[in-house]
């Protein structure tokens, strides 16, 4: 997009493509991912990922690396791109989700690369394990969710534990990546222990192994029994929130429609006090009005809503804002 800078060396024509392969089956490889591999002179990746796309690699230079050689993979990609080659660095799922995208940019920046320095970098998105595993078990991610990797190879355990504790407390649906390996067996047990401090033992859990690959296996269990399940390197563990349920072999997290509508026999009626296209009566504005009108003090409200007392105190101290325009704004588009 920028005009060429005469002081810079002419573009080498080299390119690095960070290609997410999705879960593994060709049906879930995007058209752009396939085209990026076709465009590449060199394909670099972990042995297993190379195997996933083996039939697309004829005539290409292929560099297979082991799991622990991530930085080497990025350095090698840069060296090739400097020679004017087009390099595809392949990752499972999405290259930006616990993948090669981050380490590659770190290596590039360390080598003095900038976006206009002649080597183009393209990130080709792929369906990540949380998308594909969720699709296989139903609709577990229909409300707020997050991903936590249990790998402590590069992240200190207290950091991982703090995040587990926070999201368990905050009632997120959670996708656990890298839950267990031959050597790392205790992390999943500790994750369970931290979750059980905040969540019910019967919270639904889905264990998805080798999604969209020949050895695919799905198991439904509960938080109380999670650690006993058959979990390995190619497993993603989905832990529901306090509303998630399993029915007829499907794990579903409600979106919240039942807060607003009564759905009976195919008909939909708005609950008393709620309006279609408007925030809930317990949404921000409605809730603020209610706590102000209640006369209850900040300490008690903080305990009731499990929110910081100083946050509630600040809200109560502010003058009621009549300029929000909430009443006049058009309803939000239905989703």
Q: Minimum distance between the CB of residue 191 and ligand SAH, rounded to whole angstroms?
A: 13
CA 165, CA 199: separation in Å to the nearest integer? Answer: 10
Verify binding: residue 184, ligand SAH, rule CB under 6 A. no
Which is nearer to ligand SAH, 60 or 213 (by Cβ)?
Answer: 213
Q: Which residue is nearest to ligand SAH (CB)?
A: 93
Q: Judged by CB under 6 A, which of 42, 187, 235, 244 binds ligand SAH?
A: 235
Q: Judged by CB under 6 A, which of 78, 211, 226, 238 binds ligand SAH?
A: 211
Length of the chain: 335
Q: Minimum distance between the CB of residue 243 and ligand SAH, rounded to whole angstroms?
A: 24
Verify binding: residue 178, ligand SAH, rule CB under 6 A. yes
Verify binding: residue 50, ligand SAH, rule CB under 6 A. no
Please report, as residue ranges, which positions from 24 to 43 form the binding site for ligand SAH (by CB under 6 A).
Answer: 24
Q: Judged by CB under 6 A, which of 42, 203, 236, 241 binds ligand SAH?
A: 236
Verify binding: residue 97, ligand SAH, rule CB under 6 A. yes
Verify binding: residue 98, ligand SAH, rule CB under 6 A. yes
Cα separations in angstroms, 75 against 65, 100, 146: 12, 11, 31
Helix (H) or strand (E) holding 71: helix 70-82
Task: List 62's β-bridge partners, or say none.
Answer: 43
CA 148, CA 257: separation in Å to the nearest integer? Answer: 27
Q: Judged by CB under 6 A, which of 99, 118, 140, 240 binds ligand SAH?
A: 99
Q: Judged by CB under 6 A, which of 29, 78, 80, 94 binds ligand SAH?
A: 94
Verify binding: residue 229, ligand SAH, rule CB under 6 A. no
Contact by Cβ (8 Å): 16, 81: yes
Verify binding: residue 129, ligand SAH, rule CB under 6 A. yes
Q: Minimum distance between the CB of residue 45 and ligand SAH, rounded to whole angstroms?
A: 11
Contact by Cβ (8 Å): 135, 218: no
Give the side-chain half-sphere CA count within 13 A for 266: 0
Q: Minimum distance between the CB of residue 18 and ligand SAH, rounded to whole angstroms?
A: 10
CA 151, CA 130: separation in Å to the nearest integer? Answer: 16
Stretch of 125-133, 218-226, 288-296, 308-316 lying at the interface with ligand SAH (CB under 6 A) = 125-133
CA 37, CA 4: separation in Å to the nearest integer? Answer: 28
Nearest-CA neighbor of 75 among 99, 100, 94? 100
Please report, as residue ranges, which positions from 4 to 23 form the binding site for ligand SAH (by CB under 6 A).
Answer: 23
CA 285, CA 226: separation in Å to the nearest integer? Answer: 39
Which is nearer to ligand SAH, 192 or 235 (by Cβ)?
Answer: 235
Residue 216: CB atoms within 10 Å:
16
CA 314, CA 153: separation in Å to the nearest integer? Answer: 41
CA 174, CA 240: separation in Å to the nearest integer? Answer: 7
Task: List 262's β-bridge partners, or say none.
Answer: 269
Q: Minimum distance between the CB of residue 120 and ligand SAH, rounded to whole angstroms?
A: 22
CA 37, CA 61: separation in Å to the nearest integer? Answer: 11
Please report, as residue ranges, which positions from 158 to 177 form the binding site for ligand SAH (by CB under 6 A).
Answer: 177
Q: Judged by CB under 6 A, which of 93, 125, 138, 204 binds ligand SAH?
A: 93
Interface residues with ligand SAH (CB under 6 A)? 23-24, 91-94, 97-99, 128-129, 133, 177-178, 208, 210-213, 233-236
């Amino acid at each position: 997009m920028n005009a060429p800078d005469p002081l810079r060396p002419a573009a080498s024509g080299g390119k690095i493509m960070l290609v997410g392969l999705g879960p593994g089956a060709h049906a879930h490889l995007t058209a752009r991912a396939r085209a990026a591999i076709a465009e590449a002179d060199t394909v670099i990746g972990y042995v297993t990922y190379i195997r996933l796309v083996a039939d697309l690699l004829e005539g290409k230079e292929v560099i297979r690396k082991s799991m622990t050689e991530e930085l080497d993979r990025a350095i090698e990609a840069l060296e090739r791109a400097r020679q004017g080659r087009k390099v595809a660095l392949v990752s499972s799922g999405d290259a930006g989700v616990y993948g090669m995208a981050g380490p590659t940019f770190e290596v590039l920046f360390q080598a003095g690369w900038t976006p206009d320095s002649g080597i183009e970098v393209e990130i080709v998105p792929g369906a990540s394990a949380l998308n594909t595993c969720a699709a296989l078990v139903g609709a577990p991610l229909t409300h707020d969710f997050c991903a936590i990797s249990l790998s402590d190879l590069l992240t200190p355990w207290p950091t991982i534990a703090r995040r587990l504790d926070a999201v368990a407390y905050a009632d997120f649906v959670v996708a656990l990546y890298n839950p267990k390996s031959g050597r790392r067996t205790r992390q999943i047990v500790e994750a369970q222990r931290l979750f059980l401090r905040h969540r019910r033992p019967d919270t639904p859990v889905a264990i998805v192994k080798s999604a969209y690959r020949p050895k695919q296996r799905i198991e439904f269990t509960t938080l109380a029994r999670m650690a006993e399940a058959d979990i390995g390197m190619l497993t993603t563990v989905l832990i529901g929130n306090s509303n998630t349920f399993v029915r007829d072999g499907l794990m579903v997290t409600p979106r919240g429609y039942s807060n607003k509508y009564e759905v009976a026999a195919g008909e939909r009626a708005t609950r008393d006090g709620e309006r279609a296209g408007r925030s809930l009566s317990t949404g921000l504005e409605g809730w603020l009005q209610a706590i102000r009108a209640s006369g209850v003090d900040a300490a008690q409200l903080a305990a009731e809503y499990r929110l910081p007392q100083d946050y509630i105190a600040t809200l109560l101290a502010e003058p009621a804002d009549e300029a929000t325009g909430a009443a006049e704004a058009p309803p939000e588009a239905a989703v």
